[in-house]
Chain A
Amino acid sequence: MRWLGPLAALAMGLFASLAAAAIPPEATYVGEKTCIRCHDTEAKHFGATQHARAFRENPRNPVEARVCEACHGPGSLHVQKENHKNREYLVGFTREWGTPIEEQNAVCMGCHKGGERLHWDGSPHENSKLACSDCHNAMARFSATGLLRSASISETCETCHAKERADFHKRSHMPVPEGKMSCTDCHGPHGSATRALLRGDTVNDTCYACHAEKRGPYLWEHAPVRENCLNCHQAHGSNHEAMLVAARPYLCQQCHSSPAAHAGQSFRGDQTAQSQLQGGTSNPRMIGRSCQNCHSQIHGSNNPSGARFQR
C-alpha cells in the first residue's frame, strides 16, 4: 500500500497551490543595503557574479540599479519581521520559495528578452515547464561563464540529460568529457527554429560548423550524406568507429543492395583478416574501415572519376 501515499499526493497536487501570487502593489523598494543586513552570505556570493557588477557599477536602467530588488521585487513587505517567510511578498527562484515559474521567467525575460529567447515560447524546454533558474543560478558563480547551476555547460545539461551523458562515454564520442566541446556548440537551449534546438538551419548545417570540408557541394554527391548526417552518424556517441549508427558493412547495407556490385556479399565472420589466417577467404569489406577502404570519399568526391567515391 506504500504506493497510495504518492498517488494521493499526486491527486491532491493537481488542485494544490504551490506558489504565491504577484507581490502586492503597495510594496516599495528598500535598497540593497537593507537586504544585505540579513543576507550577507548571499551578497558575498552574488558579488562574484556578472549581474552584481553590472547592476552595481553600470546599471542600464532604474530597475537594474535596485540590484537585489531588480529580480526579487520590492522588499518592503518582506523585511517586516513577521513577513520574512511570506512567499507572496517576494519573487523567489528556488523550489522552496515557490514563485510560479511563469513569474520567475517573466522577471528574467524582462531583461533577457530577444536574441535566442525569441524562440523560447513553444520550445522543448519551455514545454517542459523549465524555469530559467533550473539551469542558471544568478546568485553565485558556479561556472566559468554563463552563471550556470553547475561548473560547466555540459554538467548543467546532464543534470537532466542522463542518457546523453552516458553516450558521451561510449567508444567514439564528441569530446565533451574532455572539455573540448559543450552541448551548446550544437544546441541552443533557449530556443531555435530547428528541431532538437539545433543552432543551424538543419542537422547538416550544424555539423558543417566544424566539418566545413563536408559541406561541398561535391561533383558527386551521396544522397543520405547531403540530406542528414544522422543517417549514418550518432550525434553524441556510439559503440562503433566514427560515431556510426551501426557497424560497417551493415550500415552501408541498410541502403545498398545492388546486384551488380558487392553490397550483399559481405556479412560473415569467415571474411575477416583473422579468419583468413585460419583458411577463410578475406573480404576487404569485413576488414578495417570496411566499405570505406575503397569508397574512401564517402562524403562526396570532386574527382571527375569519383562517381563511386573512390578518388
Chain B
Amino acid sequence: MRKLTVLAVALAQLFVLETRGDPTIGGTTVGNALNPGGVNPQTSGAWMDPDGMGTRAPAARSPAGPPYLIPLDPGDTDLKKGAGWINQGFVELGLTHTYGADTNAGFRNYKDIPSGAYVDSFGFMGNKPDEARYYEATGGALGMDDQFYRVQFGRYNDWKVTAFYDSVPRVYTSNYRSLWFGTGTNTLTLSTLTPGGTTSAAATQANILDALSKTPDSDLETIRKTAGVRVDKKLTDTWSLYASVTDQAKKGTQPFGAVFGGAGGGGDIDVPQSIDYSTYDFLAGASFADALSSFNVKMTASFFRNNIDTMTFQNPLYVTLNGTSGLSPASFTTGRFDLAPNNEAYNLRGEYARSFPDFYRGKLTATVAIGTMRQNDALIPPSEFPLTGGLVTPGNVPLANQWNTTSALSRQSAEARIDTLLADLGLVVKPAKDLDVRGKVRFYETKNDLSYQSCNPLTGQWGRILNDGSGTSLVMASTLAGANPSGTSANAFNAAGCNLAAVLAMNLAPSVGNVPIASVPYDYRQLTSTLSADYRVGRAQTLTGTLERESYWRDDRERDQTWDDKVKLAFVDRGTLDGSIRIGYEYDNRSGSAYTSNPYSSFYSMSFGPVPAVATQNMASWIHAADQFRSADIADRTQNIANARVDYSFSENLDGAMSLQHKDTFYPSQLGLSGRQKNDAINFDLNYQAGPNAVVFGYYSYSQGNIDQKGVQPNSCTVGSTYYFFSNGAVASAVTGAAPPAAPAGTTLVGTQNVATGNWNSVCTGMSAASPMFPDSRGWDVASKDRNNVFGAGVKYDFGKVKLDTDFTRVLGRTSIDYSYNAAALGLTALQAGLAGSGLPDLTFAQSIFNANLLVPLNKTLLMRFMVRYESGKVRDWHYEGVAANPMPANNTAFLDAGPTDYRVTTVGVLFQLRM
C-alpha cells in the first residue's frame, strides 16, 4: 500500500505543476468573481452581434420556451484550410483601486478583488485546420488568491489534453484575536501568555484579557489550490478512453475549539485549527457506445493526506480538572488534537445499457459499483503528560505514566474500513405509442468493520482519560450499598484487564452507565424501488405518475428499519401556451420499525452488569433519551411537496417565468422535530431582449421556512427520592420519607412521585407531568423561521461608441427564533427570564453587489473598460453578539472570534483589452 501511495504521489507531481488539485472544484468551471463564467477567448470583450443569430431576431427560443441570448460577435470564423496555424487571443489588464473595508471576511470570502495593477483575464486559441489540431489557453487574476488557468490542446475528434489550475480563498473570519505563534503549523506557541495559566483561573483570566486587549484582529483563512490534467482519446467511432489526475491542496487556518476537563467542560478556548491537506485523485475509464449498447467502466482512487496529523497548542487557560486528584491545573500547559487521518478510497464502476427495439422499444440499464474507504493512521497516546502524582477519583488508581504511551491503547492503529456496494437496475419500455413505463431498483450498502475497544491494557481500565488527562471518563464499579457485593472495589473491573468476557462474567454494576467502551460501527443498507409511467396526453403534454419505496436498514440505530413511501405526479405542457408549464406533486410518508430510545447500550458501560438502582443513585446516565424523543433523521414524518413552473413569452422580445415550491412536512414526534414544518419559495424572472443594443433582465426570489422543535431540560432521577411537583412547574426532591421541601411561594403541591429500585425505569424515562427526569413543566419549544429575499437585475445598453454592461444583486436574509418555556420550572431568576424573553435577536444578512462596466472600443484591437464594483454586507448573529467586548464570560472560557462585521467596499478600475 505504501508503494502504491508513493507511486500515486509521484505521478501526481509528474502531471501537475506546482500546485494541487481536486476533481471537482475548479474542474468544471475555471473563473472567479470578476469572471464568474470563466473566459471565452472567442468573444471576450465583444458586444452582441447586430445580426443576432440570423433568421431569428433578436434570438430564437429554446424548445421549452426561454429565449437564447443574443450571441456575441465572434469575429472572423471562416475556415481557412492550408493556412497553417491560425492564432488569436487577447489579454485584459489595467489598474484598479479598492477602498473601504476590503479586509473584511465577508467581502473576501471566495474572492480576491484587486487593488493595483491587475491582469483580469487572457485567452489564446489556435487552430491548424489541415491537421485538425487546436489549442486554447485561458486564465485570469494573475498572482491573486483567486487566480485560474485552463489549457486544452489536441486534435478534433481524436484526442485532447486538458489541464487546469484554480485557487480559491475561504475566509472564515477577519475578527480573530490569535494568542499564538505558529498558527497553520502543527505547533501553536503562546505569544505572551504563560502555558497552563498562573495562580488561579481569575488571575489567568485577567492576563488573557490583557493580552487580548493588545492583540489585533487577524484572519482565519484557508486557500484551496486545485490542479488537474485529463487526457481523452477516441479510439474508434464506438470506443473512447480517458484518464485524469488531480491534486488539491488546502492550507491555512480555520475556526476550531478546544475543551479541557470533563462533565461539560473545565475550560474551553477558540484555538485555530491548522490546515495542510493534500488530496490526490486518479481516474481512468473507458466508454463504448454503438446503436444498441453502451458500456462504461471507471476506476477511481483517492488519497487524502493530512500534513498536520496532530496539532499541539499551548493552553493559556487555568483549567478545572475533573475525575482526578493530585494534579495541578497549571500542569496542563498544552493540548493535542489528532486531526483528520490520512485515508484512501477506491471505486470501480461498471455501467451497461442495451436497447431492445423489438421488445416494446425497451432499454435496460445496469450499474454496479464497489468501493472502499480505508484509514489506518497510527493512534496517538491519550496524553502527552506523564500525569505524575495524579489519581483517578474515585478508586485512586495512579495515572502516572499509564496514559502517555500507545501501550495504553487496545490497538496501535485505527484499522478502519468501510466497504460499499451500489447496484442499480432500470428498465424502460414503451408498450403503447404514447406510454412509457419505467422500473428501477437501486441497492446501496455500507459495511463498517470497525471495532475499537476503549480500554487501557496497562491498567485494565475501561473508558478513557479526557482532553489530555484533564478529565476522566472511566468505568468504575458501583460502591453504593446494595449495588454490588459488600466490599466491591470501585476498581473491580480493572482486574479483568481488557477482556470483555471476563468483565461481563463479574456481573458487577457500574457506577455510571454512559462511559463509552467501544466505537459504534455505523452502517446501513438502502433499497429503492421505483415504478413510473409517462403518458402523452397530447403532442406536447405528458402526465407522469411514480410510485416509490425506499427502505433503510441501519445497524446500531434507534430504528432497525425505516421506509419512505412516495407517490409522485407530474404534468408537463410544452405546447399549449407560448411557453411551458410544469407541475409536480409528491406525497411522502416515512415510517419504520419500533423506535428504541437507547440502542447503544452494548457500546457503553451500562452493558457491564446490572443496573445499580439503589438509594442515592441518579439513573440519568442509564437513560439515553426521553421515550418520546425522535431523532430527526429517522423519525416518522409525512411530506407534501408541490412544484410549479411556468415559462411564458409575452412577446418576441419579452419573456418571463414564475416558479413555486411548497413543502409541508409533519413530524408527529412529541420531542425533537415536532409538528408542521414548511418551506415555500416563489421566483419571478423577466428578460427583455430589445435587440443587440439593449437587453434588460430582472429576477426576484422569496423563500420562507420554519422549523419547530421541542425539548426538555432534564431534571434528575435519584433512587430513594421523592419528587414534588408544584403548581408553578417547579420540581423539588427529598429523600423518600424525609420532610418534604417547602413549596415555592404562592404555589401548591400538585403531585409527588417516588423513585424506587423497581420503578425508575417506568417513571423516569418518559416525559410526563410527574416524571422526575423529564417533567412536562421543564419542556421548551423553539420555532425558527427563515425568510429570504433576493433581487437581481441587469442592463446591457449600446450608446454607440460606449457600451454599458451593469448588474445589481440585493440579498436579505432573516431567521427569527422564538421559544417558550416555564421560567419557574427551570428556576430562572427574574433577571435571567427578562434577558431570555421569548426569543433571540433575529439572525440577519443583507448584501448588495453592484457591477458596472463601460466598454469603449478604441480601435479594432483595443478596448478600454471602466469598471465600478460596489459591495456591502451586514450580518447580525447573536452567537457572536458581545463576544468582542466580553471574550471571557467565564474565567476559564475564551472566545477569540468576534464573528462577522459590516463592510462596504468599492473598486474602480480602468482595464485595456488588447486583441491579437
Contact = CB atoms under 8 A, between A and B. Distances in A.
B237 A13 contact: no
B365 A18 contact: no
A143 B24 CA distance: 19
Interface string A140-160: 111111000111111100011
Contacts of B400: none
Given A54-B157, A58-B132, A177-B33, A163 B681 contact: yes
Contacts of B488: none
A255 B31 contact: no
Nearest to B418: A217
Contacts of A122: 365, 426, 428, 438, 440, 532
A250 B839 CA distance: 13
Given A219-B414, A240-B843, A270 B836 contact: yes
A101 B32 contact: no
A269 interface: yes
A27 to B, nearest CB: 20
B118 interface: no
Contacts of B60: 94-96
Contacts of A82: none
Contact of B29 (A93, A135, A182, A255): A182
Given A39-B55, A247-B815, A305-B466, A141 B42 contact: yes
Interface string A10-22: 1011111111000
B908 interface: no
B572 A129 contact: yes
A239 B257 contact: no
Contacts of B231: none
17 contacts: A6-B577, A14-B541, A15-B539, A179-B31, A185-B27, A185-B29, A212-B304, A217-B450, A239-B845, A247-B817, A253-B711, A261-B264, A272-B879, A286-B878, A287-B883, A293-B257, A294-B265
B127 A171 contact: no
Contact of A253 (B27, B53, B709): B709
Nearest to B790: A166
B809 A169 contact: yes
Given A218-B416, A294-B265, A178 B146 contact: yes
B897 A180 contact: no
B843 A143 contact: no
A144 to B, nearest CB: 4
Contacts of A284: 265, 268, 890, 893
Nearest to B518: A307
Nearest to B821: A268
Given A16-B575, A280-B831, A280-B832, A302 B707 contact: no
B828 interface: yes
B63 interface: yes
Nearest to A119: B365
Interface in A34-77: 39-42, 44-48, 50, 52-54, 56-61, 64
Interface in B608-643: 620-621, 623-626, 629, 631-633
A292 B343 contact: no
Sorted from nearest, which 6 A-B pairs have the closest CB atoms?
A: A114-B289, A13-B576, A47-B77, A274-B882, A152-B37, A179-B31
Given A215-B345, A287-B895, A297 B624 contact: no
Interface in A272-307: 272-282, 284, 286-290, 292-294, 296-297, 299, 301-307
A190 interface: no
Contacts of A128: 570, 572, 582
A259 B714 contact: yes
Contacts of A226: 446, 448, 522-523
A275 B629 CA distance: 30
A1 interface: no
B375 interface: yes
Contacts of A180: 25-26, 29, 31-32, 110, 146, 166, 168
B701 A223 contact: no
A95 B572 contact: no
A310 B845 contact: no
B803 interface: no
Contacts of A64: 157
A269 to B, nearest CB: 5
B698 interface: no
A305 B467 contact: yes
A45 B42 CA distance: 10
Given A272-B840, A273-B895, 5 more contacts: A54-B157, A57-B156, A152-B36, A212-B343, A288-B899
A286 B347 CA distance: 41
A277 B51 contact: no
Most buried by B among A15, A57, A119: A57
A21 B333 CA distance: 81
Contact of B62 (A131, A219, A308): A131
B259 A294 contact: yes
B588 to A, nearest CB: 13
Interface residues of B, number: 244
A57 B39 CA distance: 24
B62 A149 contact: yes
A95 B63 contact: yes
B28 A267 contact: no
Contacts of A193: 351, 367, 369, 422, 424, 442
A185 to B, nearest CB: 4
A226 B61 CA distance: 45
Contact of B711 (A16, A170, A267): A267
A206 B633 CA distance: 19
Contact of B156 (A58, A264, A272): A58
A233 interface: no
Interface in A239-253: 239-241, 245-248, 250, 253
A58 B632 contact: no
Interface centre among A96, A257, A274 (most CB of B within 10 A): A257
A247 B62 contact: no
A29 to B, nearest CB: 19
A137 B895 CA distance: 53
A227 B420 CA distance: 12
B200 interface: no
B544 interface: yes
A256 B625 CA distance: 8
B31 A221 contact: no
Nearest to B784: A246
B211 to A, nearest CB: 18
B784 A247 contact: yes
B294 interface: yes
Given A47-B79, A216-B416, A278-B835, A185 B25 contact: yes
A221 to B, nearest CB: 5
A44 B289 contact: no
B514 A19 contact: no
Contact of B788 (A93, A131, A166, A261): A166
A210 interface: yes
A66 to B, nearest CB: 14
Given A219-B450, A250-B707, A288 B788 contact: no
Nearest to A184: B28
Contacts of A275: 835-836, 882
A171 B109 CA distance: 11
Nearest to A182: B29
Interface string B546-559: 00000000101100
Given A18-B539, A18-B540, A257-B671, A45 B40 contact: no
A56 B34 CA distance: 35
A276 B882 contact: yes
A268 to B, nearest CB: 4
B659 interface: yes
Interface in B8-27: 22-27
B539 A247 contact: no
B373 A163 contact: no
A224 interface: yes
B341 interface: yes
B27 A144 contact: no
B878 A293 contact: no
